Every structure is written in C-alpha cells, then in structure tokens.
Amino acid sequence: MAEPPLLLLTDIHATFGTTPLLAGASLSVAPGERVALVGRNGSGKSSLLRVAAGLHAPDGGTRFLQPGTTLRYLEQEPDLSAYPDVEAYVMAGLGPADPPHLARQWMTALGLSGDEAPARLSGGEARRAALARVLAPDPDVLLLDEPTNHLDLPAIEWLEGALAAYRGALVVISHDRRFLERLSRAMVWLDRGTTRRLERGFAHFEEWRDTVLEEEERDAHKLARKIVREEHWLRYGVTARRKRNVKRLAGLGSLREKHRERLKPQGVSKLAASNAEMSGNLVIEARGIEKHYDKPVVREFSTRIMRGDRVGIVGPNGAGKSTLLAMLTGRLAPDSGEVRLGAMVSMQVLDQARAELDSNRTLADVLTGGAGEMVEVNGERRHVVGYMKDFLFLAEQARTPVRLLSGGERGRLLLARALAAPANLLVLDEPTNDLDLETLDLLQELLAEHPGTVIVVSHDRDFLDRVCGSVIAFEGDGRWQEYAGGYSDMVAQRGHGVRGAERVVEARATTQAPRAEAPAARRMSFKDQHALATLPAAMEKLQAEITVIRGWLADPDLYTRDPAGFAKRSALLAEKEAALAAAEEEWLRLEMLREELEA
C-alpha cells in the first residue's frame, strides 16, 4: 500500500492586513516527490510555504505532518544575525541525532569555512550558508523559497546536482525556468488564493497554464460574467505575451547572425576605416582594456557594441563582471587600453544594490517623484496608473505604501522607475532577482521593444537565451571572450558553462556530502548509450501510468467500495513512482556523463 503524504495542507485560508491571500489552497507532498510551487509575485507562495513549514498559523484549514517526519525550510531572506559565525548557524539546523561533521561537509561543499561573520556576508554567501543548514540534516521534506537568489551560475548548477541526488521530498519556489525544468516532476499553481496541480514538470507548465486561462475566459463569457478589465489583462494577457515572446525569441536569430559576422577576425585597417561610417551607430568601443587589483581582473579585452545590440555578461561571483561593466560604460577608467562611448549616449543603470525605496511612499509617488500624477516615458507624458499597468500593477495599488509590497513587486517597481528615465543604453545588473515568471515575460518583451542598446549581467540562463544576441564570458585569469548567441550558444561553442571559483571546485572534489558525482569512465558503453536513448520514452510511459493510478485513487468512495482494490492500486502507485525516480536519476547520470565526454 502506498505511503500516505508526509505533508498535507487542506483548504488553507489566510488574510494579511485586509487582503485575503489564500482562499482554500492545498498542498500534498508524498515521499520523494519534486513539486514546484509557482504563481505571480504577491499571490501568497511564500506565505503558503511558511504555513507548510509550521511557521505561520492559517486563519482556516488544516496542516498535517506525518509523525517522525523531518522538515527543513529555506526562507527567502535568511537571518544569521543571532549567531557568532556561519558554523554556529549551520550547526543549529542539525537534529539531535545528526553528526556535526555533516554540517562541516556541506559548508566545505558550498565554499564556506564556517568562520565567516554573518554581518560581513554577501547575499550569495548568506544563501549558501542557509542551504548548508537545511541540507546537512538530510530531511524527509525540504521546502526551498527562491534557493537560487544571489547565487552565481556555478553555484546554481552545483545545487541542481545536489538536489537531483537528494532522495527526500522537495517543494521549491523559483523564478529560474531552467532550474525548475531540471528538478520538478509536479507543479502546483497558486492563483487568486487557490491551487491547481499538474502531474508533470515545469517544461509542460506554461502551455497547461495558458490552456486553463483560455478555457476560463471562454467559460466566463458563456456565463456572461463581467470581468474586471485590469484583472482580465493581468490573467489572460499572459498567454498573448508568452506567444509574442516565442515569436521574438525566433527573431533573435538574425541579430545573432550579425554578431557572428562582426566577431570574425578583421584587419586593423578595416576596423579603423569603418569607424567613420558607423559612428552614428557605435555605442561602445573598447580596445585592449585591462584592470588589475591584487590579481588581473580584465586582460586585453576588446569589443564593439552597436546600437540595438543585446549583450550579456556572465561569470562566477568575484570574477569581475561589475568591474568590466563599469569600464565599458565609462564609470571606471581602465589601467590601460581605451574605451570610447558613441555620440549622444544616454545611459540608465539598474545595479545589483537596487537603491532602497522609501517604505512610506506610495507607488505613484515613487514613479512620479511626488510631482503630480504624470510620468514621462521616452519623451511621452503618461498617467502614472496607465504606466503602472504596464508592470502588472492594479490601478488601486497607486496609493499602496511600498512597505506593503512583496519582494518581487518591489523589484518590478524599481524596474518601472529605471525604464521610465530617458535612455538609449540600458545597463541591467541582475535584473531578474525576485521577479516572477509573468514579470520575466514582461521584462523580455520590454527589452525586445526597447529601441536602444541593452547590456545585462545575469545568472538566469533561460533569460540570457531569450534576450541576448551575444554573451561576454569569463575565461579565467582575467580573460574575457565574446560569443555570438545566448547562453546555450556559448556553452555549445566553448564546450562548458560558467566555471566556479577554485575554492568551490576543490571543496566539491573533497566533500562527502550528497551530490551528483562525475562518472569515472571516459567513454559510454553500448549499454549506457542504449539506456540514454530509451529512458525518456520509458519515463513518459511511467508518468502516464502514475497519472492514471492517481486518478483511480482520487475516487473518495474507492476505499469503502473496494478496500482490496484500493490497497492493490496504492502498492502499484508506489512501485511506479519508485521506478520513475530510479529512471530519472539514471537518465541524469548518463546525460551528465555524455555532456562531460563531449566537453
């Protein structure tokens, strides 16, 4: 007979302030399940996860945690201030029977010594400490709220491997599409206070969501319901925006082809001769720029960025992305070499620090600077409420104080303020932090329509693929190289993604903490090749069988009517889920082996 859920939330209601946030939400987590919890910013995802963790009592509904089940929760903004150092913080997450060496192994795996003072940690270091704290006990249920925030690409890819090897149940909130695609097997969509569940991974979610919204819209019209205009656009406009983005993504091909032509080796005389002809289109030209601190940060880097280019910059934390960006935009002088900005360049910068917002000001005041109800956007005066709607805010939120906004809504407000300023060069340093999937779609659309030039630093692989025509990547020892295309194109050309700092790589090699191991074999056997080719179809078949069995077991009268049949089907469900988990782990191992050997 199948094991009952380890964690079960039923008919959860919660009101924050005067706003009903959860209105009958549910969540079921069985042993070994991989569930992604998605929804718009402010929809209550983090609140539902806090209820699941037992940290917030709902106004109504029930929470059940199987007795003896260990559960750990990674909050979105971990607080280490009560601890003298990172080791004390991580150790505090261990259970009475957990050996202390597990915490030390995970700290080493995540590039931490344990001696770090909490007050001096960067956002990424604090996130890694929090991950060590929740992973070290090897809990039965792991709840993760935006685990990739503030992590660089090597750390994100390392975390994917560690969670793929983790055998417990996982519930994760994340805006990172690639991360969700690789880890999720089921989706819970929180929308307007209630939840819907899809028994497939994130790769199938957006199409399913669009279908649900389209059916809901048709039903609403059939019943002659009056749909509030703003809500209609916010909900049902998602489908149209995503379809437009798919079309624009296809259009990146021509832009990337132009970059490939430009990046071909050229003689010096040709470069010099073309300056005059293209001076009106030239935005940034860098020739042999260098910057050294204790070690080389940038060595002999040259590039030309033309009007309309979308350029991504990628590298591990500490590689010098912000330094390179500051030199390219003229905010920092190089030690040697030359940077020339084109004529009439007007720049707007959104940096990682995200300047603090006055928590007592309203959204309208932030966007207008307190000067009336109009905001100037690209030389055009617009009413602030109309401009807010472009960023998925409702009209009634115009007088909402900033302190009542969620983290994602604050990020959206900062983007709206930055994009309202007159600029033909947008410089965005980690713009996707804290943004939900719908807002990411919106940002991609805004960047695609922006008539000027965009330079973006990001650790979001899917975002880079959807936005960029070229990528400047860190190659090590201060070397940077520009590649035509998005992040996936860069990986295909260089044979690997962004590599991490040496201390993290060395830690991974020595730690005994659970992780995805690199296979020792240097070639794939015929058996492995056959398994890699046939496992996807086998997994699809198992998933379909699981869906059918779950449908049977969803019958509330089945147990009363046929106890023996209920037990038989429950046992069959457990068998199929175990087979699917084993197949997915084997496929992941073989896929990693294939990628390693190809690299």
d(CA 339, CA 352): 23
Residue 541 has pLDDT above 80, yes or no: yes
d(CA 249, CA 241): 12
d(CA 236, CA 31): 35
Q: Which residue has the higher pLDDT, 593 or 323?
A: 323
Residue 143 has pLDDT above 90, yes or no: yes
pLDDT of 18 reads: 61
pLDDT of 199 reads: 94
Q: What's this model's pTM, rounded to 2 decimal places?
A: 0.70
d(CA 131, CA 81): 16
Question: What is the pLDDT confidence band of residue 249, given thresholds at 50, 70 and 90?
Answer: low
Q: Which residue has the higher pLDDT, 528 or 11?
A: 11
Q: Which residue has the higher pLDDT, 359 or 99?
A: 99
Q: Which residue has the higher pLDDT, 267 or 366?
A: 366
Rounded (5°) CA angle 489-490-495:
105
In three-state secondary structure terms, 473 is strand
d(CA 409, CA 375): 19
| Most confident stretch, 48-52, 276-280, 436-440 | 48-52
pLDDT of 251 reads: 57
**Which of 450, 248, 487 is CA-nearest to residue 350?**
450
Q: Is the dihedral of CA 63, 66, 68, 70 positive or negative?
A: negative
E-assigned strand segments in 207-355: 282-292, 296-306, 310-314, 336-341, 347-350
Q: Which residues contact 19 (CB under 8 A, 6 or more apart)?
A: none
| 336-357 confidence digits (pLDDT tens) | 999 999 888 888 887 665 556 7
Phi, psi of 459, deg, nearest 5? -105, 5
User: The sheet that has 282-292: what strands, in order across it?
Assistant: 296-306, 282-292, 336-341
Residue 62 has pLDDT above 60, yes or no: yes
| Most confident stretch, 130-144, 207-221, 539-553 | 130-144
Residue 295 has pLDDT above 50, yes or no: yes
pLDDT of 280 reads: 45
Residue 40 has pLDDT above 70, yes or no: yes
pLDDT of 527 reads: 73
**Which of 127, 180, 132 is CA-nearest to residue 152?**
127
Bridge partners of 382, per DSSP, are: 375
Based on the number of CB atoms within 10 Å of its own CB, is 532 exposed (0-12), middle (13-18) or buried (19 or more)? middle
Going from the N-terminus, what domains does the chain have, and what CATH number goes with each? 7-215 (3.40.50.300), 251-345+452-505 (3.40.50.300), 347-422 (no CATH), 526-598 (1.10.287)
pLDDT of 222 reads: 57
* Type of residue numbered 189: W
d(CA 308, CA 328): 16
In three-state secondary structure terms, 279 is coil
Q: Which residue has the higher pLDDT, 134 or 192?
A: 134
Average pLDDT value over all residues in the chain: 81
| Weakest mean pLDDT among 8-12, 39-43, 268-272, 528-532 | 268-272
pLDDT of 49 reads: 95
Residue 284 has pLDDT above 90, yes or no: yes
Stretch 7-32: mean pLDDT:
89
pLDDT of 220 reads: 62
Pairing of strands 34-38, 7-16: unpaired
